[in-house]
Amino acid sequence: MMRVFSRRNLLRGAGIALTLPWMESLVPRAARAQAAAGPKRYMPIFLPNGAAELWRPPTTGSGAAWTLGPVLEPLAAFKSKMTVLTSLENGSAFNADGSSSVEPSHGRQPGAWLTCVDPGMVRQQLGVDEANNVSLDQLMAQHANFKDLTPIPSLQLGLSTVLSYCDGQPCSNSRSVSWSAPTQPMYKLVDPLEVFNKIAGVAQPADPNAPPDVNQQMRLARNKTVVDMVLENANRTRAKLGASDQLRMDEFLASVHSTEKRVTAVSAGMGGVGCSPIAAPTMTTVMPDAPRQNTETYNKGDHADVMNDLIVMAFQCDVTRIITHMLEDERSEFTYDHVTKRTFTEAGSVEASGTCPEYHGGGQHGSQDDFATICWWNVGKVAELCAKLDAIQEGSGTLLDNCVIFFGGAMHGSNHDCSELPTALIGSGGGLLSTDQHIVLANRPLRDLHYTIANHVFGMGMTDFGQNMTGAPIQMINEIMLGA
């Protein structure tokens, strides 16, 4: 679907261009059937440190034949809209024998999650200190099926507070998963107010030495919100809408107003734009004063919640159709003492006593219950995002139905193997992917999954993707394809 842009579906104010969600009243009659179908969207969500063993569903099959593993319990409401894939591997992107040992694991494996090549090999070929292949999300953003159809080609988001170890490798391997060019990592935005301002057309200056945005400074100083700034334009637009669209617009503006208030509070609590209208700190270096755990001013759950709201806002308004979201940096060392421990068995999980340790050392390399609890908490935040997307009707389905959420990690888990990768697909990409199933693939290369999604769902016409050092040819994964 091509987005129909006009002055009528942009609310403008000083330094603001707020895109309205789709409304029938704003679309020319001849384009309404096409516009109502809803665009297809792609969102990789990265889970650091792999996953605990009980991520894997206990049975295979489709429909009633399979159930979610205990770590995936929070996604139970979306079982019918997801597929869990077991036995994907990415070791073949690194090793000629296809083996799963890739060390240093945290510093190398994440760099290949969306490229399926060894970043070290690319660095050696180019003779530079930092390099990778272009990632799948950016190949999509540069493709004619996406390019110039939305105001923002793609967004890179994350929950990191930039406290992580890079395993002696370039930090672009473990603090980013998107690459727009071989020497251009796309570092994630972690400050929610910076993301909100970008969506609302008030992007921060690209040059960190440039003066702060004047319009934003004035708005913050006057304690004005984006909705305040576009209210006059909104009232004029509202008068031209039908009754149902007027209600939809009122709900949208109320949501934007509420979201901005909450993102400003979270941003201020983490020392971001909401605290002072300056460019956000770079993601390339460790911030020694970054929160290592929840504090009086920073709450990881609030951070996750407002980022979810911003993802929904960006997709609902068709500001972008491609978002990568890192739940943490790969070797996250954030302490999850805000999360109550759970006890896990194959039958499920129950709340226990005490709180969780630091994610990497005490979690991934500690108690499997602790590790599973931290994974479970992160899965829960993905489930909350899915609930918000699924609540928005779009055509004959929902916004979630028109998404492909690629949710998973770059390593198996505590053993650090680059095989048995935790992977789930949520959403059917507009009815093109099969759902409600658990499929065990016989050590299938991850690049086959990316190749299938790119071609079958998004029609990119790729003839190859990534690399397989064993020489095995790339193939479509027929088990997940509908309408082929």
What is the mean pLDDT for each group of 10 consecutive residues in the chain (484 residues)? 47 76 67 66 98 97 97 98 98 97 97 98 97 98 94 93 84 94 94 89 50 55 70 80 84 86 87 56 55 89 96 92 96 93 96 96 95 98 98 89 98 97 97 97 96 98 97 97 80
Nearest to 382 by CA among 318, 330, 480, 305: 305
Q: What would the two tokens of residue 431 be? A: 């009815």
Domain total of the chain:
2
What's the CA gap between 276 and 268, in Å, rounded?
8
Same domain, 206 and 173: no
Residue 398: the pLDDT is: 94
Q: What is the CATH number of the domain that holds 371?
A: 3.40.720
Instruction: Write the CA distances from 290 to 161, 269, 281, 338, 434, integer angstroms.
Output: 6, 11, 10, 17, 42
Answer yes or no: do 243 and 381 share one domain. Answer: no
Closest CA to 403 of 473, 322, 478: 322
Q: Are 393 and 439 in a shared domain?
A: yes
Residue 292, both tokens: 């290592």
Pairing state of beta strands 61-62 and 437-445?
antiparallel
Together in a domain, 175 and 52: yes
The whole-angstrom separation of Cα 418 and Cα 411 is 5
In sequence order, which residues have a C-beta less than 8 Å from that of residue 141 and are 6 or more positions away? 147, 153, 154, 180, 322
Strands 16-19 and 184-186 come out as unpaired
Which residue in this structure is represented by tokens 């020694």? 288
pLDDT of residue 70: 98
302 lies in a domain? no
Q: Is residue 292 part of a domain?
A: no
Is residue 312 assigned to a domain? no
Let me know whether 29 and 53 are in one domain.
no
Same domain, 438 and 389: yes
Question: Looking at the domain assignment, is residue 290 inside a domain?
Answer: no
* CA distance linking residue 85 with residue 420, whole number of Å: 9
Q: Both 120 and 229 in a single domain?
A: no
Closest CA to 439 of 67, 160, 85, 187: 85
Looking at 282, 313, 330, the residue that finishes a domain is 282
Residue finishing a domain among 229, 263, 282: 282
Residues 256 and 336 in one domain: no
pLDDT of residue 421: 98
The pLDDT, as a whole number, for residue 3 is: 42
pLDDT at 2: 40
Residue with tokens 């605990």: 52
Q: Classify residue 206: in a domain, yes or no.
A: yes
Q: Is 125 inside any structural domain?
A: yes
What is d(CA 38, CA 129) in angstroms, rounded to the nearest whole number?
A: 42
Question: What is the DSSP track for 239-287?
Answer: TTS-HHHHHHHHHHHHHHHHHHHHHHHHHHHTTSTTTSSSPPPPSSS--
Select from 134, 52, 70, 32 the least CA-distant residue to 422: 52
Domain boundary among 260, 282, 304: 282
In a shared domain, residues 328 and 464: yes
**Considering the entire predicted model, what is its pTM?**
0.91
Domain membership flag for residue 308: no
Are residues 337 and 235 both part of a single domain?
Answer: no
Q: Which domain holds residue 210?
A: 1-37+193-282
Residue 304 located in a structural domain:
no
Tokens found for residue 175: 């603090």
Co-location of 114 and 210 in the same domain: no
Whether 157 and 28 share a structural domain: no
